[in-house]
Amino acid sequence: MTLRARLSVGLIGIALVLLIPLLLALNSLERLKDTNRELRDTDFAASIAIGRLRSEADDIRSAENAVLFVRDDSSRRRMATHITHADTLAATLVRYNLQRESAQIRAALARIRDAAAAEYEAASQGRAPDAERISAEQLLPEIARINTIVGQTETDLRRRTSERVDEAAAVTIDAQRTAAGALTIALLLALLIALWLLRSISTPVHYLERGMRAVADGDFTYRLPYAGTRRDEFGRLAGSYKSMVRQLAELDKLKAEFISVASHELKTPMNVIIGYLELLKEGIYGPLTPRQIEVAATIEKQAQTLTRLIRRLLDVSRFEAGGGKVEPRTIDLPRFLDHLEAAFQGLAVQRGIAFRVQRSASLPAEVSWDEDRMNEVLGNLLSNAFKFTPRDGEVMLGVESDSSTVRITIRDTGAGIPADQLPRIFEKFYQADNQASAALKGTGLGLAIAKQIVEAHKGTITVDSTEGAGTTFLVTLPVVAGVSRVSGRHRATDLA
């Protein structure tokens, strides 16, 4: 059976056995929900209404005292309002299966309303004995009757609520027992299925992981013990692993040879050429004619250009081979930006270009970067900006940050880059068409190296440009660079 088939069967089996306790639990929860809904919509709501009725009865008693002794129309209206509110509340008891109690309370309130009118009339006419008699014989007994009905109803509700709660508890216990039993059986079955999957997958995955770790450490001699013996996906992976290791070993050897050749066979002869040119200029081999001096200067200039090209090629090759590295250390960010601004201010004045640096107030005082490498990146980007910006143009360096990253923007108003060429701008040796208009042509390696340096800091670099309007580069770096170094014999390690 293939790995895909085993996984499908195992996952479907686990899903089915776990679905059974879920369905049982859902059924029990539905019963519990019905019970709780009944509690909420009847007993609890009725308890709230009864409590408000008791409060209204007390308010009627207070208002009745005010009518009896103060004898003003305001007290009469307040008492009538409380009677109306109490009647409305009593009417709502019908929906909670309290029809008898509702009828009794409303009848008592009707009698209270009639007696209150008679009491107010007697009190307002100065017939205090009659008013007190109406209060004692009619009003107060009816209010007491309402309180008695309310109290009895509260007792009945508490008993009914207790029964409902006991029923909900029984449903809950039953649901717990059912779910626990079904879940136990389902977990045992799921465990057996999982063990079957684990035994068929974990061993080859373990060996494959060890093999990949060995490759990451630069050890291309590790061999998988089951290569060629399996007929499933792991067997095919083993074959792919074997082919990959062979190709990586060859590539590692080729890159190492290239870097060695470039270092010794290219760099050394160029240093010799430059050294002899300096001796010629100093007259060690005799005086030179003006024409010879001019030719020697041209040769030296081209030799220096070639030396820079070789150095950049070596940088690119080292990063691609994993030997390139960055070495972060604590940098005073304001000082770093001050030096960068001062370095290009003179060039801006010389070329008649407005150069400004914008810094946000939230910049951190210190960052952890490779200062030399980042100075190379930003210097390259600013040099390109000045190179392609005409006189009276503008170059801007903007720096802002949040809690974990610093964003550096280099924007110019120069020639811009055609939209179809933007995706290739970071490729080695690639130069946009507008390069021909620059005073000095480059090697096409600066942006490739800049991208690799930024990515070695765990950052990103992007570009946006409009032909004829200008170009904007955005470099985003973590405040504390996380560095990856990969060499031919060492595993990649993240440094914070």
- How far apart (Å, rounded) are the C-alpha atoms in residues 69 and 64? 9
Q: Supply the pLDDT for residue 338.
A: 92
Q: Supply the pLDDT for residue 321.
A: 54
pLDDT tens digits, one per residue of 341-394: 988 998 899 899 999 999 998 899 999 998 888 988 998 899 889 988 999 999
Q: Supply the pLDDT for residue 489.
A: 36
Verdict on whether the full-model pTM lies above 0.75: no
Q: Supply the pLDDT for residue 26.
A: 72
For 478, the token pair is 């973590």
Domain boundaries of the chain, sorted by first residue: 3-192, 233-321, 329-495
- How far apart (Å, rounded) are the C-alpha atoms in residues 418 and 265? 38
Q: Supply the pLDDT for residue 444.
A: 67
Amino acid identity of residue 415, one-letter, is: A
Residues 6+ apart with CB under 8 A from 230: 204, 238
To the question of domain 329-495 being in CATH 3.30.565.10, the answer is yes
Give CA torsion, residues 67, 70, 71, 75, to 10 deg: -50
pLDDT tens digits, one per residue of 317-338: 666 555 556 788 999 999 999 9
Residues of the chain with pLDDT under 50: 436-440, 484-496
- How far apart (Å, rounded) are the C-alpha atoms in residues 113 and 124? 17
Closest of 152, 136, 149 to residue 105, by C-alpha: 149
- The contacts found for 146-150 with CB under 8 angstroms, 24 or more apart, are 146/53, 146/57, 146/86, 146/105, 146/108, 146/109, 146/112, 147/54, 147/57, 149/101, 149/104, 149/105, 149/108, 150/50, 150/53, 150/54, 150/57, 150/105
Amino acid identity of residue 16, one-letter, is: L
Closest of 317, 382, 375, 315 to residue 355, by C-alpha: 382
Q: Supply the pLDDT for residue 73.
A: 75
